[in-house]
């Protein structure tokens, strides 16, 4: 970036920061990093610049990078929930693009700082993940990188099964009404009789990282909607040249454009917020950004009027085509909520760790209208066995009937 | 306003190579997975037929991260239209991939039901894997010199040489060493001080490291800074005043004096001439009417890879193509791979032709000769003794004779196989191919290490 443009960006950032404060945004101190595409995409693939190394991140990186190289998709920025808040800008962004992005990430930073879901997250996670990465590297030296990788493969397979209400330490999550434990990864780390200390430590690390990422999965629509709302509002208050206005309109359209057949969280979130603002005023928006997650946001604020205005619908695959099956707002809400519940992952709990008196593990899948993909069960259950060391059972619903899969170390039954 | 509310930094990210490194690891895993599937891939129809560097797609199940996930294939999802969408409208076709609902996680939801990762590779890349352990067995040095491999190896460093071969690293090292010894280099700890210089990442621990250490059972802040430094991360904590800490700016950075003639070091090399042997390979194929499409396909698969393998690994191997039914004839490569014949089978004819070609063009002692014959074994009964006799004689002239018999069914005795089985020579190798996957096994058997022991 040439010096003059760097100076202009500095000025614009200063102006936008002022405007954000005037408008009542309350954000962490911002640390913008201008970096090349490879760096931006690697941060995107890992979720964090300091995260440990694993081939699955390399795979994600390759895919994102290839799409970028072929002009299929482009990430303009990445922002990290931390204090101070790090935002990474692509070094090929134009000045105007950077203005929009600065405004956008100010919205994210405010959301991270004030939304209740994020209240328990560790704002020093950048450094903590660097420590994790370091530990994992030491384990690789000590126990062999293949061994550690194979263990990570197994841990990653169940990393989403945390209890989001456990934000700190190693305490177990709440017991469900039926006695099940939602914190599957934490439970296995604490109770498997088979694991070595370093293996338990890795599971706890994966769990801590997932607890940190979890609120972002729970608030995708709100968070993007909020940031888009603010980039529109703040950039409009800047003095833009005519050509900048055209460029801004183009870029904005690209980001919040509704893509046919799927839900764009930026667009859905933005439309909902604007709708609420019209009816209840700006103050109500600030309250909503503080208290709601995607699920409650949709449940409480997606109206019939809005669903019609946005032309939302329910569709499903019938034979070889996708067909619209409903326009009813209740049905739309049900399906949207279901896809956002528990981060979109099946809800599993540890139900018994001494099944048949032989120390076998029973996982229970709480059925919520969607059945598990059997092909994935076939490949994931053996990995749980790798962690537990004894037979693992998974109770679920198949074709409307209760069914229990069992993996005994060699074969999957059920 | 408070300047601390934001900082814009442009750090040097050139050391941030984690993505590339893990990408390589992923590629290696893909390769391993492909290697495990080679037997299937080698006989893949789409590979044998077309020419050129076609990219093939290989489904690999093990490289899609396993997780418990929903089967959403025929479940309702929410979508958005451009206005006026009605119940009953068709919004897309299955398999086009663009009508998937809101994605779940990073990849799920993209393609419901598909649980594999698709690797792409070119035929050349595949060939490299197939040929990894293959070689011409029992190759002996022979007189005719047209099969040489030349190699260049840099193996020495000298003080004299051509300036284009100057070894920059060693030259620089010599210059530093000389100046350090003579006390001429300011801050003589030079090389070491550069890499440990706290300036490079100095902003880091001062600002960010303090808050984290308590939370984790792990080393202190120094390690944090060290980790970040090793990963090339500075995370935006350079403020404006330290933005230019790259070695060329500060006055305290050691400066290297002039490089003099005595510092120069040159790489030198040697030509390596490996004595190689001349070789001729006879590809002999039964194209009679009894060779059905499966048999022909398997034979051609084998020869396809054999030809490719020989041309990749050996500079000047000659390949002669012989096809036969009741009569044998030499054909060009294209007809060998494309044309079929019909009629009965007299395998002796192709062995006769093999003798004739070797006698005429390849004097013994000057060439390593190989012959590979593929047939369904359905030979004229009366011809079997003659074939065995000719094959036995041929073994005197070749380093190795390979016979592959392709038969889907075990029944039907009186095959050529039984007759040839009597040949008692270490130079004779035979294989039965029952299915497409056996092509790879046979390649391994004929060109693998196990036969090379002699």
Contact B190, B297 (CB under 8 A): no
Among B403, B397, B412, CA closest to B432: B403
Record: contact A320-B93, CB cut-off 8 A: yes
Tokens matching residue B205: 């621990």
Record: contact B236-A135, CB cut-off 8 A: no
Conformation bin of residue B368: beta by default, left when phi > 0, alpha when psi is -120 to 50: beta
Residue A312's SS3 state is: strand
The rounded percent of chain A whose pLDDT value lies above 70 is 96
Residue with tokens 């870029």: A251
Cα separation, A402 vs A344, in Å, equals: 22
CA distances from A175 to A178, A180, A181, A351, B397 (A): 8, 6, 5, 10, 81
pLDDT band at B221 (very low <50, low <70, confident <90, very high): very low
Closest CA–CA distance from residue A131 to any residue of chain B (Å): 7
- A38: contact with B, CB 8 A cutoff: yes
Per DSSP, B259 falls in state -
A54, A59, A134, best to mutate vs chain B, most B CBs in 10 Å = A59
Record: contact B9-A316, CB cut-off 8 A: no
What does the pLDDT look like over A23-39, one tens digit per residue?
Answer: 999 999 999 999 998 89
Contact A56, B66 (CB under 8 A): no
Record: contact B208-A127, CB cut-off 8 A: yes
Q: For A250-373, list the strands marked E by DSSP.
A: 312-318, 321-326, 347-355, 360-366
Cα separation, A44 vs A195, in Å, equals: 31
Record: contact B106-A33, CB cut-off 8 A: no
| Closest partner CB to A321 (pick from B19, B62, B90) | B90
Q: Give chain A's largest Cα–Cα span.
A: 75
B8 burial class (0-12, 13-18, 19+ CB within 10 angstroms)?
buried
**Global confidence as pTM:** 0.70
Conformation bin of residue A24: beta by default, left when phi > 0, alpha when psi is -120 to 50: left
Per DSSP, A53 falls in state P
- Please provide the DSSP assignment of A41-84 as one string: HHHHHHSSTTPPP-HHHHHHHHHHHHHHHTTS----EEE--SSS
Among B265, B227, B72, CA closest to A49: B227
Q: For B200-291, list the strands marked E by DSSP.
A: 266-274, 279-286
- Using CA atoms of A245, A246, A250, A251 in order, give the dihedral in degrees to the nearest 10: -40
Tokens matching residue B30: 């893909």
pLDDT value for B138? 75
Closest CA–CA distance from residue A359 to any residue of chain B (Å): 22
Residue A337's SS3 state is: helix
Tokens matching residue A157: 């397979």
| Closest partner CB to A344 (pick from B87, B104, B231) | B104
Cα separation, B371 vs B320, in Å, equals: 10
Record: contact A376-B66, CB cut-off 8 A: yes
What does the pLDDT look like over A85-131, one tens digit per residue?
Answer: 999 999 889 999 999 999 999 999 999 999 999 998 999 999 999 99
**Which pairing describes strands B117-122 and B55-60: parallel, antiparallel, or unpaired?**
antiparallel
Using a CB-CB cut-off of 8 Å, the residues of chain B touching A14 are 1, 6
pLDDT value for B254? 53
- Please provide the DSSP assignment of B318-344 as one string: EEEEEEESSSEEEE-HHHHHH----S-
pLDDT value for B270? 67
What does the pLDDT look like over A53-65, one tens digit per residue?
Answer: 999 999 889 888 8
Residue with tokens 């047939």: B375
Tokens matching residue B134: 């293959």
Closest Cα in chain B to A48: B235
Closest CA–CA distance from residue B33 to any residue of chain A (Å): 14
Q: Which helix (H) or strand (E) holds B432?
A: strand B428-433
pLDDT value for A350? 95
| Max mean pLDDT range (A288-297, A337-346, B132-141, B266-275) | A288-297
| Closest partner CB to A313 (pick from B16, B75, B85) | B85
Residue B77's SS3 state is: strand
Helices (H), B119-167: 123-131
Using a CB-CB cut-off of 8 Å, the residues of chain B touching A342 are none
Q: Give CA A60 to chain center in angstroms.
A: 15
Contact A288, A219 (CB under 8 A): no
Tokens matching residue B55: 């990219």
What mean pLDDT do residues B119-134 have?
78
| Closest partner CB to B22 (pick from A58, A86, A156) | A58
| Closest partner CB to A50 (pick from B91, B213, B228) | B228
Cα separation, A6 vs A385, in Å, equals: 54
Residue B166 contacts by C-beta under 8 Å, 6 or more apart in sequence? B264, B265, B266, B267
> How many Cβ atoms are within 10 Å of A388's Cβ, its own excluded?
23
Chain A (269-308) residues lying within 8 Å, Cβ to Cβ, of chain B: none
Q: Give CA A359 to chain center in angstroms.
A: 34
Residue with tokens 């190759």: B139
Tokens matching residue A395: 């109770």
User: How many residues are given for chain B?
Assistant: 454
What does the pLDDT look like over B65-105, one tens digit per residue?
Answer: 889 999 877 788 898 888 888 998 888 876 544 333 333 22
Closest CA–CA distance from residue A372 to any residue of chain B (Å): 4
What mean pLDDT do residues B389-406 have?
91
Q: Which helix (H) or strand (E) holds B117?
A: strand B117-122
pLDDT value for B357? 93
Conformation bin of residue B83: beta by default, left when phi > 0, alpha when psi is -120 to 50: left
pLDDT value for B81? 86
pLDDT value for A260? 65
- A162: contact with B, CB 8 A cutoff: no
Cα separation, B70 vs B112, in Å, equals: 9
Cα separation, A296 vs A303, in Å, equals: 13
Task: Give the Cα-Cα-Cα angle B450, B451, B454 (nearest 5 degrees).
Answer: 110
User: How many residues are given for chain A?
Assistant: 414
pLDDT band at B294 (very low <50, low <70, confident <90, very high): confident
Closest CA–CA distance from residue B203 to any residue of chain A (Å): 13
pLDDT value for A326? 94
Record: contact B237-A324, CB cut-off 8 A: no
Closest CA–CA distance from residue B7 to any residue of chain A (Å): 5
**Cross-strand bridge partners of residue A87:** A32, A79
ipTM field: 0.89
CA distances from B43 to B134, B219, B297 (A): 17, 54, 9
Mean pLDDT of chain A: 91
């Amino acid at each position: 970036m040439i010096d003059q443009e760097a100076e202009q960006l500095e000025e614009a950032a200063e102006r936008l920061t002022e405007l954000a404060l005037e408008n009542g945004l309350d954000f962490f101190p911002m640390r913008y990093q201008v970096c090349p595409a490879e760096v931006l995409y690697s941060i995107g693939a890992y979720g964090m610049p300091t995260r440990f190394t694993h081939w699955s991140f390399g795979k994600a990186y390759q895919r994102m990078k290839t799409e970028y190289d072929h002009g299929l998709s482009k990430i303009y920025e990445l922002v990290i929930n931390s204090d101070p808040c790090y935002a990474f800008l692509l070094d090929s962004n134009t000045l105007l693009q950077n203005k929009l992005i600065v405004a956008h990430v100010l919205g994210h930073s405010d959301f991270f700082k004030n939304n209740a879901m994020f209240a328990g997250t560790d704002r020093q996670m950048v450094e903590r993940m660097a420590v994790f990465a370091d530990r994992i590297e030491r384990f690789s030296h000590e126990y062999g990188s293949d061994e550690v990788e194979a263990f990570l493969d197994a841990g990653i397979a169940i990393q989403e099964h945390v209890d989001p209400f456990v934000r700190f330490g190693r305490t177990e999550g709440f017991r469900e009404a039926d006695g099940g434990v939602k914190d599957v990864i934490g439970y296995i780390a604490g109770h498997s009789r088979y694991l070595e200390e370093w293996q338990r430590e890795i599971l706890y690390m994966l769990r801590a990282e997932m607890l940190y990422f979890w609120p972002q999965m729970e608030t995708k629509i709100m968070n993007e909607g909020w940031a888009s709302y603010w980039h529109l509002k703040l950039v409009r208050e800047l003095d833009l040249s005519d050509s900048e206005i055209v460029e801004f309109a183009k870029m904005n359209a690209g980001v919040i454009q509704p893509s046919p057949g799927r839900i764009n969280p930026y667009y859905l979130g933005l439309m909902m917020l604007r709708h609420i603002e019209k009816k209840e005023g700006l103050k109500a928006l600030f309250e909503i950004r503080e208290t709601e997650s995607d699920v409650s946001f949709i449940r409480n604020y997606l109206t019939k009027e809005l669903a019609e205005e946005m032309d939302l619908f329910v569709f499903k695959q019938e034979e070889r085509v996708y067909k619209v099956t409903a326009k009813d707002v209740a049905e739309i809400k049900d399906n949207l909520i279901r896809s956002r519940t528990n981060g979109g992952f099946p809800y599993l709990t540890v139900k018994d760790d001494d099944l048949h008196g032989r120390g076998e593990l029973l996982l229970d899948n709480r059925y919520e209208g969607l059945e598990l993909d059997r092909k994935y069960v076939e490949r994931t259950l053996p990995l749980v066995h790798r962690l537990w060391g004894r037979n693992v059972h998974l109770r679920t619903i198949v074709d409307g009937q209760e069914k229990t899969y069992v993996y005994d170390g060699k074969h999957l039954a059920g | 306003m408070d300047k601390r509310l934001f900082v814009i930094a442009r750090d040097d990210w050139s050391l941030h190579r984690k993505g590339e490194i893990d990408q390589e690891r992923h590629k290696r895993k893909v390769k391993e997975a492909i290697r495990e599937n080679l037997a299937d891939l080698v006989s893949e129809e789409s590979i044998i037929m077309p020419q050129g560097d076609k990219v093939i797609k290989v489904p690999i199940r093990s490289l899609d991260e396993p997780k418990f996930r929903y089967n959403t294939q025929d479940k309702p999802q929410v979508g958005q239209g451009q206005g006026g969408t009605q119940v009953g409208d068709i919004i897309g076709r299955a398999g086009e991939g663009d009508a998937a609902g809101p994605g779940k996680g990073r990849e799920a939801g993209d393609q419901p039901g598909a649980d594999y990762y698709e690797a792409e590779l070119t035929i050349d890349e595949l060939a490299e894997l197939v040929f990894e352990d293959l070689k011409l067995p029992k190759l002996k040095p022979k007189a005719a010199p047209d099969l040489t491999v030349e190699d260049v190896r840099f193996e020495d460093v000298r003080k004299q040489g051509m300036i284009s071969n100057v070894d920059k690293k060693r030259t620089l090292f010599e210059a530093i060493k000389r100046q350090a010894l003579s006390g001429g280099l300011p801050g003589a700890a030079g090389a070491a001080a550069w890499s440990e210089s706290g300036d490079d990442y100095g902003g880091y621990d001062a600002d960010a490291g303090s808050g984290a250490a308590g939370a984790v059972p792990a080393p202190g802040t120094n390690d944090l800074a060290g980790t970040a430094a090793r990963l090339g991360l500075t995370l935006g904590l350079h403020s404006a005043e330290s933005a230019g800490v790259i070695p060329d700016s500060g006055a305290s950075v050691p400066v290297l004096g002039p490089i003099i003639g005595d510092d120069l070091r040159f790489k030198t090399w040697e030509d390596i001439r490996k004595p190689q042997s001349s070789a001729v390979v006879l590809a002999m194929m039964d194209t009679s009417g009894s060779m059905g499409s499966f048999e022909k396909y398997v034979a051609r698969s084998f020869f396809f890879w054999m030809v490719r393998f020989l041309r990749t690994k050996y500079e000047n191997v000659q390949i002669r193509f012989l096809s036969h039914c009741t009569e044998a004839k030499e054909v060009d490569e294209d007809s060998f791979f494309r044309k079929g014949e019909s009629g009965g089978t007299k395998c002796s004819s192709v062995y006769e032709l093999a003798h004739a070609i070797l006698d005429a063009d390849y004097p013994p002692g000057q060439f390593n000769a190989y012959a590979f014959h593929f047939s369904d074994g359905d030979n004229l009964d009366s011809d079997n003794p003659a074939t065995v006799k000719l094959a036995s004689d041929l073994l005197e002239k070749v380093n190795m004779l390979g016979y592959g018999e392709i038969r889907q069914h075990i029944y039907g005795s009186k095959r050529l196989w039984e007759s040839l089985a009597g040949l008692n020579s270490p130079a004779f190798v035979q294989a039965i191919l029952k299915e497409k996957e056996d092509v790879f096994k046979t390649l391994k058997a004929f060109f693998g290490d196990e036969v090379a022991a002699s």
